[in-house]
Amino acid sequence: MHRSRTHFTPTKLHLISEEGRATPRVYTHLVPLPPLDVRPGRDPRYPAGPAFLPRILSGEAFRSTSADLMLSSARQHGDLVHYRAFGRHIYQLNHPDLIRDFMTTDSIHHHRNVVMQRARTVLGNGLLTSEEPLHMRQRRLAQPAFHRDRIAGYGIVISDAAARMTSAWQPGTTRDLHADMLELALRIVGKCLFDLDHLDNIEAVASAVDSFMSFLPLAFLPFSQTIQRLPVPSMRRLQRGKLHLDTLINRMIAERRAEPADAPDRGDLLSMLLAATDPEDTAAASNQMSDRQIHDECVTILLAGHETTANALSFALYLLAVHPEAQQQLHTEAIAVLGPTRNPSAADYPNLPFATQVFAEAMRLYPPVWVTARSCISSYQIAGYTIPVGAALLAPQFAVHRDERFFPDPDRFDPSRFTPERKAALPRYAYFPFAGGGRQCIAEGLAWMEGALTLATIARVWRLTLPPNAPAKLAINPAISLRPRHGLPLHLDLRAI
Ligand code: HEM
């Protein structure tokens, strides 16, 4: 997002701890960042933070979601917040410079968080769950599949899928657009990853992914491996879902392996993963991925690319429905660029800046990955405080994206925050829906294009409004990703074009 900077103003920050230790660091920013606001806690060994018991007793812990609690902690206790939960030290980082160190230089002190570690039982050792050095090798192998030239070919996939979805919509009706966005995102990732076209195949993948998704939260429970072995019907059904998905993916890998070497390139991600070689990998027996590794990467990409994008699109549609003026502006842009009937391609994406701004602002207010979490594996210091081994470190997109130091009137939907000029003035880690550093989302380019082309396809033809009796505030569910809690029922009307 924030690639080009034209001039820089160095700012000097002093990180001051309770005992008055000061660690000067020089950072370069286009505009000076507000100084770090790190406050001492009652116990001088830790920075300030909310006490667990009062929150329980006041009922706050039960009334709010975990995302709301992180937001209120940041607002009350400053840029580095400490609390304990379930016997663990937790450090919440709320300042762009702390987050930059967390994502980049300090990442050598981190492992995937407990949730991701447990998810290995279902996701295997794909990009999301693996540690270094495996992660770096896989990243080198998979990166070309997400190269800009490669994903340009997926523009048509996105707009075809969006056009097919909307052709089933009936004017004058209300339907759950979150369900539609989930199916759309799955179709797109299914086509981009496996070149899957046939409805049967898509439905088979959809139902396998569905069972798999309902299985996933279980994988995150402390005794998940024991629970998964329980001989109860729900467990059997969920295991069948996993087996089903594994079988489908393995069959596709085997079919591709069996194709002659001179078979035409299908242009999908799977063919890139199968062909990828790692020139730096001279020590390994093969510099290609094993079938097992490709399987794990496919499961990871299917799951990582499905719900995140669907949620971002759903929140964007909700925001458009409650901001008719923005919806009108997007409609005008879509008509000007595409005319009344032409489906967009990747070449249209740069000409849809307002669609991109709407998508960006939706991910500011409702970041699909609402917190990035890690476990500390070697003790180090943040702002003069020692982070113990085993501590959890959190960089909460949900809280930082609503920080009024960077986003005045932070709860207001305002896509103009992401015009090129205003975007360039934002500190890099004040806005990080795709994280950053070595773990930055590998498919960020694809996700931006998917967002803009889908929103333009919909807004060109349809007018979206909230149905009567819709609650004034959208309920959110900060689960594995941030979702609308009760789907997204929206009323549909055709525009006169
Ligand atoms: C709006 C949509 C999306 C958002 C907001 C998003 C966000 C993220 C974030 C924040 C991470 C880093 C997670 C962490 O460090 O713990 C990540 C990683 C990843 N994402 Fe996405 N993502 C999106 C779409 C996609 C799509 C469409 C795909 C695939 C087709 C994808 C594949 C991945 C993969 C494989 C990783 C792991 C990268 C690594 O660790 O090297 N994502 N994503």
Average per-residue pLDDT for the chain: 85
Q: Does the pLDDT at position 217 exceed 80?
A: no
Q: Pairing relation of β-strands 88-93 and 110-112?
A: unpaired
User: Counting atoms of ligand 1 from 1, which one is nearest the CA of 368?
Assistant: 5
pLDDT at 65: 73
Cα–Cα distance measured from residue 288 to residue 126, given in angstroms and rounded to the nearest whole number: 15
User: Which of 180 and 276 is assigned the larger pLDDT?
Assistant: 180
| Beta carbon of 369 within 6 Å of any ligand 1 atom | yes
Q: Does the pLDDT at position 302 exceed 50?
A: yes
Question: Residue 272: which pLDDT band, with cuts at 50, 70 and 90?
Answer: confident
Residue 240, C-beta contacts closer than 8 angstroms, at least 6 positions apart: 211
Lowest mean pLDDT among 223-232, 254-263, 392-401: 223-232
- Calculate the CA 173 to chain-centre distance: 31
Mean pLDDT to the nearest integer, 48-58: 71
Mean pLDDT to the nearest integer, 208-233: 63
Question: Residue 120: which pLDDT band, with cuts at 50, 70 and 90?
Answer: confident
Question: Residue 4: which pLDDT band, with cuts at 50, 70 and 90?
Answer: very low
Lowest mean pLDDT among 219-228, 287-296, 340-349: 219-228
For 113, counting Cβ atoms within 10 Å of its Cβ (0-12 exposed, 13-18 middle, 19+ buried), the class is middle
pLDDT digits (tens, 9 = 90+) for 433-489: 999 999 999 999 999 999 999 999 999 999 999 999 888 789 998 887 899 999 999
**129 alpha carbon – ligand 1 mean position (Å):** 12
User: Which of 396 and 145 is assigned the larger pLDDT?
Assistant: 396
Distances (CA, A) of 208 to 232, 236, 311, 390: 19, 13, 19, 35
Nearest CA to ligand 1 atom 15: 439
Highest mean pLDDT (candidates 37-51, 52-66, 466-480): 37-51
| Beta carbon of 157 within 6 Å of any ligand 1 atom | no
Q: Does the pLDDT at position 208 exceed 70?
A: no
| Beta carbon of 446 within 6 Å of any ligand 1 atom | yes
Question: Residue 63: which pLDDT band, with cuts at 50, 70 and 90?
Answer: low
User: Counting atoms of ligand 1 from 1, which one is nearest the CA of 359?
Assistant: 1
pLDDT at 335: 97
pLDDT at 21: 38
Q: Which of 103, 311, 441, 481 to mutate to test the pocket of ligand 1 (most atoms within 8 A of CB)?
A: 441
What H or E segment, with its residue span, contains residue 93? Answer: strand 88-93
β-bridge partners, 494: 462
Q: The tokens 């806005």 sit on which residue?
A: 431
pLDDT at 229: 67
Cα–Cα distance measured from residue 302 to residue 211, given in angstroms and rounded to the nearest whole number: 13
| Beta carbon of 441 within 6 Å of any ligand 1 atom | yes
User: Counting atoms of ligand 1 from 1, which one is nearest the CA of 130?
Assistant: 40
